[in-house]
Amino acid sequence: MRILLLNQCFHPDVASTAQHLSDFGAGLAERGHQVTAIASRRAYDRPEQRFAARETWQGIDIRRLPATGFGKTALWRRAADFGFFSAVTTLRLLTLPRYDAVVALTSPPLVSYLAAWFCRLRGAKLFYWVMDMNPDEAVAAGWLKPGSLPTRALETMSRFSLRQSHRIIALDRYMKERIVAKGIHGDRVVIIPPWAHDEAVHFDARGRAKFRAAQ
């Protein structure tokens, strides 16, 4: 199968969504699927760090898009980075061939909306991996007001993404309950908790001593 992975961060970024999607993509490629990943050239938490525009890793064709690097110190900076990445992603999707399946995450928020339209127009199946619930989280954090125009617009986009999805991956039963409450049949929602990377974590006595000395 030809499979497209869509998320702002991907290998070698260390953000959680990057690590989990990279693991998933590597597993698909190992099973013989043709996997392409669309991501940002800038690291999620360190925007000054840039990655190659294109590379092949673990059999995955990674294509990284230009991105602004305003950072996350203010809400407008986050919004600017998210908006720019969404814009360049839209342009790139217009040039891509048809895929059998698209796996979209939630960085930036509601990038799944772009994936949903791409799948609808190209006849692909959308697998929506919900790592964050938006605009729910933005409202809970006080960034958006309940019932405001931006909130209603984002909620409409969110529900469209959910309705267009062939399958939806939730992190736990509570997230599944929220998704079902938006009018989605429970049979379409699968719970897959994030897995640990224990094999990559090692105790570093020297590093701990150095850290303590610096405090």
Give residue 51's pLDDT.
95
d(CA 37, CA 22): 9
Give residue 202's pLDDT.
67
Give residue 204's pLDDT.
75
CATH number at residue 184: 3.40.50.2000
Give residue 65's pLDDT.
96
Number of domains in the chain: 1
Residues 109, 7 contacting (CB under 8 angstroms)? no
Sheet order of strands, 60-65 included: 54-57, 60-65, 34-40, 2-6, 101-104, 125-129, 167-170, 189-191
Nearest to 109 by CA among 140, 134, 90: 134
d(CA 69, CA 84): 10
104 Cβ neighbours under 8 A, 6+ residues apart: 6, 7, 111, 112, 114, 115, 116, 126, 127, 128, 129, 161
Return the residue matching tokens 């199968």: 1
Show the DSSP H helices in 96-172 as ranges.
Answer: 111-122, 136-140, 149-164
Return per-residue pLDDT of the chain as tens, 215 residues: 999 999 999 999 999 999 999 999 999 999 999 999 999 999 988 888 999 999 999 999 999 999 888 877 777 888 888 889 999 999 999 999 999 999 999 998 889 999 999 999 999 999 999 999 999 999 999 989 999 999 999 999 999 999 999 999 999 999 999 999 999 999 999 999 998 866 666 667 787 788 788 87
Q: Which structural domain, as residue segments, surrounds residue 72?
A: 2-214
| pTM, rounded to two decimals | 0.88
